[in-house]
């Protein structure tokens, strides 16, 4: 029997219907989205803690939405805080992957149910429910897909929760096509940095913040912000950790053959944040997160088979843990 969870995590964002081109030209269908991917890996790595990860979103009343929610539950993610909106549909994206394993995304999300998630019927109760969680995770995509009114309501609520002592974790995940312009993106990100506790950002995304795109410049930018714990992700290169005025570098797991980089960063984020929630130091959390991401890039699609995911927190989540 699962032990009662020692923590509760809310992941806010959008899940979409995923289509992926296979080597033979056929297409496979699954479900994915940055925060959903992170939620799945977090739930999978902490499965001994019970169903502690909840997905906060909005989907439609169509068969794809129903199958999507069923998939979340099968992956150990609670869907009870995801609103079902009559007559709406989820977004869709198509992945094309080149010979080196790098992928390109093509999106159809203009009428996605999540876009007004925090200004429609039921949103007041949804925002209020966030107070029951220990940590709240969201990304730049979570904010970018929202209409301005929904985005503003969510930001105000998160700032209030942070002031009340809740942990807000933010993954920058910048997608330029989703934002009005770079200035808006930068203003929103800086606003989140003002109340977040942990921030994850890629080297490439530093440029959006007006910082030279290399780890040293990122470390110099974030080091004075001592209230923040920052992880600068750099693909297969070492990640850079900035916390308490200190800067550390943690090497990535060496992978000789990359198949597909989809969800590598999302899985890293889920593993890293869970490690920190379990009380591990930033560097140790990053080492284990690299192992998980290293396994993910050896499989196609965002969510790899459960048995292929390294159980990096087996000791920390064991039933007889201290």
Residues 6+ apart with CB under 8 A from 220: none
Catalytic machinery residues = 266
One-letter-per-residue 3-state SS of the chain: CCCCCCCCEEEECCCEEEEEECCCCCEEEEEECHHHHHHHHHHHHCHHHCCCEEEEEEECCCHHHHHHHHHHHHCCCECCCEEECCCCECCEEEEEECCCCCEEEEEECCCEHHHHCCCCCCHHHHHHHHHHCCEEEEEHHHHHCCCHHHHHHHHHHHHHHHHCCCEEEEECCCCHHHCCCHHHHHHHHHHHHCCCCEEEEECHHHHHHCCCCCHHHHHHHHCCCCCCEEEEECCCCCEEEEECCEEEEECCCCCCCCCCCCCHHHHHHHHHHHHHHCCCCHHHHHHHHHHHHHHHCCCCCCCCCHHHCCCCCCCCCCCCCC
Residues 6+ apart with CB under 8 A from 57: 12, 13, 14, 15, 36, 82, 83, 114, 117
- Side by side, the strands of the sheet bearing 246-250 are 82-84, 53-59, 9-12, 135-139, 167-171, 198-202, 229-233, 239-243, 246-250
């Amino acid at each position: 029997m699962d032990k009662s969870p020692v923590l509760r995590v809310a992941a806010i964002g959008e899940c979409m219907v995923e289509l992926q081109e296979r080597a033979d030209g056929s297409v496979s269908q699954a479900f994915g989205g940055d925060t959903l991917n992170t939620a799945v890996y977090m739930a999978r790595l902490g499965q001994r803690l019970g169903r502690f990860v909840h997905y906060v979103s909005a989907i439609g009343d169509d068969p794809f939405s129903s199958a999507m929610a069923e998939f979340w539950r099968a992956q150990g993610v609670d869907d009870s805080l995801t609103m079902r909106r009559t007559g709406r549909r989820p977004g869709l994206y198509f992945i094309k992957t080149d010979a080196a394993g790098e992928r390109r995304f093509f999106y159809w999300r203009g009428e996605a149910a999540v876009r007004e998630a925090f200004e429609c019927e039921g949103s007041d109760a949804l925002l209020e429910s966030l107070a029951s969680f220990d940590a709240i995770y969201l990304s730049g995509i979570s904010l970018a897909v929202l209409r301005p009114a929904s985005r503003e309501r969510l930001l105000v609520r998160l700032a209030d929760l942070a002031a009340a002592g809740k942990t807000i974790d933010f993954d920058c995940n910048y997608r330029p096509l989703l934002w009005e312009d770079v200035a808006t993106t930068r203003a929103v990100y800086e606003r989140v940095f003002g109340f977040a506790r942990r921030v994850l950002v890629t080297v490439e995304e530093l440029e959006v913040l007006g910082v030279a795109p290399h780890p040293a410049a990122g470390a110099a930018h974030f080091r004075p912000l001592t209230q923040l714990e920052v992880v600068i992700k750099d693909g297969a290169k070492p990640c850079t950790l900035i916390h308490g005025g200190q800067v550390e570098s943690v090497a990535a797991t060496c992978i000789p053959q990359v198949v597909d980089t989809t969800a590598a960063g999302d899985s890293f984020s889920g593993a890293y944040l869970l490690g920190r929630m379990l009380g591990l130091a930033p560097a140790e959390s990053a080492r284990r997160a690299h192992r998980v991401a290293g396994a993910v890039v050896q499989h196609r699609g965002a969510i790899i088979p459960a048995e292929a995911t390294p159980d990096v927190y087996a000791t920390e989540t064991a039933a007889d843990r201290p």
